Chain A
Amino acid sequence: MSAAPTTPVLDKADVPEKSPAVPQAPGTLARLVANPKVLLLIAAVLLAVVSAAVTGSGVWPGDLTFDLRAPLTDFNEWLVQNRDTHWIFLYFLLHISNSAEASVDAVGSLLTSLGFIGVTVLAVLLAWYAGGAGLRGRALRTAGTALVTFLVIGLLGMWEPAMETLALMVVCVVASAVVGFVLGLLAGLSDRGERFLRPVFDTMQVLPAFAYLLPLVLFFDVGVPAAFTATVIYSAPPMARLTSLGLRGGDAAALEASRSLGATSWQQLLTARIPLARKQMFLGLNQTIMMCLSMAVLASMIGAPGLGEEIFRALSILDIGQSLGAGIAIVLIAVWFDRTTAAAGDRLDDPDARRGRGATWIQGGVVVVGTAVAAVIGSAIGRVEWPDNWVVSISEPVNTVTTWIEDELGSGVPVIGGTLTLASGFSNYVLNPMRDALQATPWWAILVLGGVLAYLAGRWRAALTTVLALGLIGGMGLWTRSMDTLSQVLAGLLLTLVLGFAIGILAARVDWLDRVIRPVLDTMQTLPAFIYLIPMVALFMGGRFAGVAAAVIYALPAVVRITNQGIRDINPAALEAARSLGATTGQQLRQVQIPLARKALQLAVNQGVVLVLSMVVIAGMIGGGALGVDVVKGLAKGDLGLGMTAGVAIVCLGILLDRISQPGADIKKDHPLVKKGFQF
């Protein structure tokens, strides 16, 4: 009864434990029982189920909590009083915020003065240059992407907010790249730096973007500086990580050659190590840019101007049409950035592209001169702002469609019932029982269960972290709300894995399907989280199911991609052997492909859980409730005691879910399957 929902989740987690023991099958039960790990797990599950059934209520005891809110509120008050006078602001933090604000303003006015013609030409020429210049196909394709991107943005009437977003982005990307590069150098050149920084980066990758917002508001107040700082902190790690990886992975022979030629350490660094790491660094830059975009959009919650603000405002008046326009603009910018930097990165490998420096200079000149000419022409003919009458309004038709969906698909559709019926059914039969089960299980049983799961995944260190994280959640008095959020995460994860594994396995077996979904996945993975909320509000009117559905769609691409790749990567000889022994397709899949792709599947689970969590909390904005809405409330009301504690609880959930699901240290985050954008 009440504990039923816990079991399927456990099944997911213990599949990996079973399968290594049984690559090709027989007599499983006996062997399983003989396995001490499985025994331990069964004991922990039994404990949880039995104790839940016996006690029926598992709320964290009141006398084990401590009050974090009061000191946080006091601290906030102190900050307000001293924000203009204390030395740490006058001599340090205010410098950061003033220079951030000034740079964003400067870039913004540069973009304005270039005019829409100048900006479009600049974007097109930059894309053309990154694609290899000249008349080759790639250059023209990326240039075409840029042209379409900016024309559509203009047509949608999103030119001005798009420029605000771009201005913020440019400054953030530069800052994140520099910070990331320096940290990457530290981690890449010093073992101590690596030991210190690596766990920090690891943890930052599992933190939901949402958790960055509040503490920064505390120090920087609402506005551009807070958005800037949040974005840089969020997006610098991939650059740092890949820089360090590139420096450490440099070809030993080349380095030795450089050394034996008597280069000093600085010369070595500049002429051998960094050039050899260039490819990795470009990959890092690409990821950093995509994460910057994601965060710059989300940061509209703390006062960043631009496209995010448009979406945020449209969401708050439920104007789906208006938010969709901004959403499309963001998607296009993401695609443009991605294609351009990817083209630039690929060109590093391309021997053709390495021609004389002269050609590069000329191409660079073309970019600058072309932009200048376009800007001059633009202002000469008096067209600096995007003309109002060139705007096509999509808002009305979209809202008509939305209303139609609400009226017609909401309920009363034959067989499936309708979207609203579906949503309330899912809440009734999946979310509620899961939440009730988690809340009915005594806190100490969950502690034990979490500890055991983490121990099985990552030994003592992971177990300790998990128990501490749970303890902190309970101690802050957020046990019940966290279990609510957890139930949404688990439900979302379950759906994601079922769908993701199914699609991933299918795509691994059917080539044309793979070809069809690949570009779709590519695009989906470059989209900022915010975007996914829009259609969900239209379909499900907000609420928990809308949040879970958004999370599933958000996490699906990563899971599909990793599953697909993992199954494709297994040794063809093993499959051939199975086939020649007469195994049916199903048998091949169950007994060869899935067991051999186990690591990839585990990685998919790990990525899935982190992504689902980050989306479920953002869904607080559309009625997801629990911890997410506490953060939104904290931001909206300036109640940092409320928002911060909820934020910390989200971080704790993120860390513990990551520890429980981590797929052995050897393939963790640097695995080549973890390829693109936002899936950290």
Chain B
Amino acid sequence: MNSKPAKLSKRSRRISTTLVAGAGVLGVVALSGCAAETGKTGGSDEVTITVPSWVGAQANAEVAKVILEDELDVKKVTLKTMDEPIAWDALNNGKADAILEDWDGQPEKQKLYLDQKKSVVKGGDLGVTGHIGWFIPKYYADAHPEATTVEGLNKLAKDFKSSESGDKGEFLGAAPSYTTYDEWLIKNNKLDFKIKETGNEAAQIKEIQQKYKNKKPFVTYWWDPQWLNSDVELVEVKLPEFKEGCNEPKEKTECGYAKTPLQKYFNKDFAKDGGEAAEFLKNFKWTTEQQNEVAKWIAKDKMSGEDAAKKWVKENKDVWEAWLPKK
């Protein structure tokens, strides 16, 4: 097995030369062949909606899917799980038709696709206002009122120490794909905290639930709307106020997060030729409470997305009938 390779004959060298030449020819053929097709063209009887990994956004998509399929004549609605940045790419190249909940976390892609290439168009408000911030549990804020300011929190950093954060305070970080400036906020405000990467939203929720149950102190990246907010009482830490442009470039961020009216976005062709489906999705607009209701059924009661959406659709006919295109 490890013997020295035998000296090769001229013949086998000829074979290898032929092989190399063959491979080269193939390569050239592939190169000079006709131009490849790009992208796909979407029809209105099939709709693809992107679904980011948080449950609230899944609720939007599942409800939209049920109504599109059962009430409008859309043959197939595909829900594609993809994170925000990839969803923007997919809208650009037509692999997906709609984003239903965008948190404004992709300024570069917006500039590129919305303003420059004009391949993505706005789809209006979702009706829900999103807010990101740093949150601590109420029982801790009651015991240490000063913890609701950044300076006060920093002085109490020791309370948040854990095996992961060493001698600094532990900060429960966002899932990898979520919009966050925490790394720079901590650095630029010289805070004595270290981010614990929780890996995904579910892990973060689990960690919060565990700590909340045992009344342990914690500080976390958190947001609203989020179904868990009805189960746990959290208090926001006052970060320096958000002003337009204060998080650009992101490395210089010292301010907190804006209140973001969540947006819908469509692929340009879908918006134009999508017919009733596109019109319905443009009209789709609901409240934080409505979204949370469905989200909680999915995440806490472990209902399948489809079942939860069907249940909501059955119980809220008056709400969604207003979204249907006028005939």
Binding site for B on A (CB under 8 A): 77, 80-81, 83-84, 89-92, 94-95, 97-98, 182, 185-186, 189-191, 193-194, 221-223, 245, 248-249, 252, 264-266, 268-269, 303, 309, 313, 315-319, 399, 423-425, 427-428, 432, 436, 537, 541-544, 620-625, 629, 632-633, 636-639, 666-667, 670, 672
| Interface status of B273 (Cβ within 8 A of chain A) | no
Q: Which residues B66-105 have CB closer than 8 A to chain A?
A: 81-86, 88-90, 92-93, 95
Residue of B5, B19, B88 contacting most chain A CB atoms (<10 Å): B5
What are the residues of chain A within 8 A of B197 when measuring CB–CB? 620, 623-625, 629
What are the residues of chain B within 8 A of A193 when measuring CB–CB? 16
The answer on a CB contact under 8 Å between B81 and A313 is yes
The answer on a CB contact under 8 Å between A638 and B38 is no
The answer on a CB contact under 8 Å between A636 and B16 is no
What are the residues of chain A within 8 A of B20 when measuring CB–CB? 186
The answer on a CB contact under 8 Å between A189 and B8 is yes
What are the residues of chain A within 8 A of B201 when measuring CB–CB? 316-317
What are the residues of chain A within 8 A of B82 when measuring CB–CB? 222, 303
| Interface status of B322 (Cβ within 8 A of chain A) | no
The answer on a CB contact under 8 Å between A542 and B198 is yes
The answer on a CB contact under 8 Å between A638 and B85 is yes
What are the residues of chain A within 8 A of B199 when measuring CB–CB? 542, 620-624, 629, 632
What are the residues of chain A within 8 A of B164 when measuring CB–CB? 427, 543-544, 625
The answer on a CB contact under 8 Å between A427 and B206 is no
Binding site for A on B (CB under 8 A): 1-3, 5-6, 8-9, 11-16, 19-20, 23, 30-33, 35-39, 53, 55, 81-86, 88-90, 92-93, 95, 108-109, 112, 117, 162-164, 166, 175-177, 196-203, 206-207, 210, 299, 302
What are the residues of chain A within 8 A of B19 when measuring CB–CB? 182, 185-186, 189
Q: Which of A91, A95, A248, A638 contacts B6 (CB 8 A)?
A: A248
Residue of A nearest to B108 (CB): A77
What are the residues of chain B within 8 A of A94 when measuring CB–CB? 35-38
Residue of A nearest to B298 (CB): A317
Q: A191-B8, A317-B299 are in contact. Are A84 and B207 (CB under 8 A)?
A: no
Q: Which of B38, B198, B200, B302 contacts A315 (CB 8 A)?
A: B200
CB distance from B45 to the nearest CB of A (A): 19
Q: How far is the CA of A667 from the CA of B2 in the complex (A)?
A: 8
What are the residues of chain B within 8 A of A313 when measuring CB–CB? 81
Residue of A83, A94, A221, A637 contacting most chain B CB atoms (<10 Å): A637
What are the residues of chain A within 8 A of B196 when measuring CB–CB? 543, 623, 625
The answer on a CB contact under 8 Å between B198 and A245 is no
The answer on a CB contact under 8 Å between B35 and A91 is yes
Q: A190-B8, A223-B95 are in contact. Are A266 and B203 (CB under 8 A)?
A: no
The answer on a CB contact under 8 Å between B5 and A84 is no
What are the residues of chain A within 8 A of B13 when measuring CB–CB? 189-190
CB distance from B5 to the nearest CB of A (A): 5
The answer on a CB contact under 8 Å between B38 and A637 is no
Q: A91-B35, A269-B12, A638-B86 are in contact. Are A541 and B203 (CB under 8 A)?
A: yes
Residue of A nearest to B201 (CB): A316
Q: How far is the CA of A223 from the CA of B14 in the complex (A)?
A: 40
24 example contacts (A-B, Cβ-Cβ < 8 A) are as follows: A80-B89, A84-B38, A84-B93, A90-B35, A90-B38, A91-B32, A94-B37, A94-B38, A185-B19, A191-B5, A221-B89, A265-B9, A265-B15, A303-B82, A303-B86, A313-B81, A318-B203, A424-B162, A432-B166, A541-B210, A620-B197, A623-B197, A625-B196, A633-B177
Q: How far is the CA of A105 from the CA of B147 in the complex (A)?
A: 56
Q: How far is the CA of A423 from the CA of B11 in the complex (A)?
A: 62
Q: How far is the CA of A185 from the CA of B30 in the complex (A)?
A: 22
Q: How far is the CA of A218 from the CA of B33 in the complex (A)?
A: 23
Residue of B1, B175, B196 contacting most chain A CB atoms (<10 Å): B1
Q: How far is the CA of A94 from the CA of B11 in the complex (A)?
A: 37
Residue of B nearest to A91 (CB): B31
Q: How far is the CA of A90 from the CA of B31 in the complex (A)?
A: 9
> Closest 6 A-B residue pairs measured CB to CB?
A265-B11, A638-B85, A94-B36, A636-B177, A190-B16, A318-B202
The answer on a CB contact under 8 Å between A182 and B23 is yes
What are the residues of chain A within 8 A of B53 when measuring CB–CB? 316
Q: Which of B6, B30, B83, B88 contacts A636 (CB 8 A)?
A: B83
What are the residues of chain A within 8 A of B90 when measuring CB–CB? 222
CB distance from B113 to the nearest CB of A (A): 9
CB distance from A294 to the nearest CB of B (A): 21
Residue of B nearest to A633 (CB): B176
Q: How far is the CA of A232 from the CA of B321 in the complex (A)?
A: 50
Q: Which of A90, A95, A317, A544 contacts B202 (CB 8 A)?
A: A317
The answer on a CB contact under 8 Å between B112 and A77 is yes
Residue of A nearest to B177 (CB): A636
Q: A189-B8, A249-B3 are in contact. List 10 more A-B contacts (CB 8 A).
A: A80-B112, A81-B112, A89-B38, A91-B35, A94-B36, A537-B203, A543-B164, A623-B199, A629-B176, A636-B175
Residue of A nearest to B58 (CB): A317
Residue of B nearest to A315 (CB): B200
CB distance from A377 to the nearest CB of B (A): 28
CB distance from B191 to the nearest CB of A (A): 18
CB distance from B135 to the nearest CB of A (A): 19
What are the residues of chain A within 8 A of B6 when measuring CB–CB? 248, 252
Q: How far is the CA of A595 from the CA of B228 in the complex (A)?
A: 59
What are the residues of chain B within 8 A of A90 when measuring CB–CB? 35-36, 38
What are the residues of chain B within 8 A of A98 when measuring CB–CB? 36-37
What are the residues of chain A within 8 A of B177 when measuring CB–CB? 633, 636-637
What are the residues of chain A within 8 A of B206 when measuring CB–CB? 318, 541
Residue of B nearest to A99 (CB): B36
What are the residues of chain A within 8 A of B9 when measuring CB–CB? 265
Q: A189-B15, A316-B201 are in contact. Are A194 and B5 (CB under 8 A)?
A: yes
CB distance from B84 to the nearest CB of A (A): 8
The answer on a CB contact under 8 Å between A672 and B12 is no
Q: How far is the CA of A40 from the CA of B85 in the complex (A)?
A: 51
The answer on a CB contact under 8 Å between B12 and A541 is no
Residue of B nearest to A667 (CB): B2
Residue of B nearest to A88 (CB): B31
The answer on a CB contact under 8 Å between A249 and B85 is no
CB distance from B1 to the nearest CB of A (A): 6
The answer on a CB contact under 8 Å between B12 and A190 is yes
Q: How far is the CA of A266 from the CA of B55 in the complex (A)?
A: 61
What are the residues of chain A within 8 A of B299 when measuring CB–CB? 317
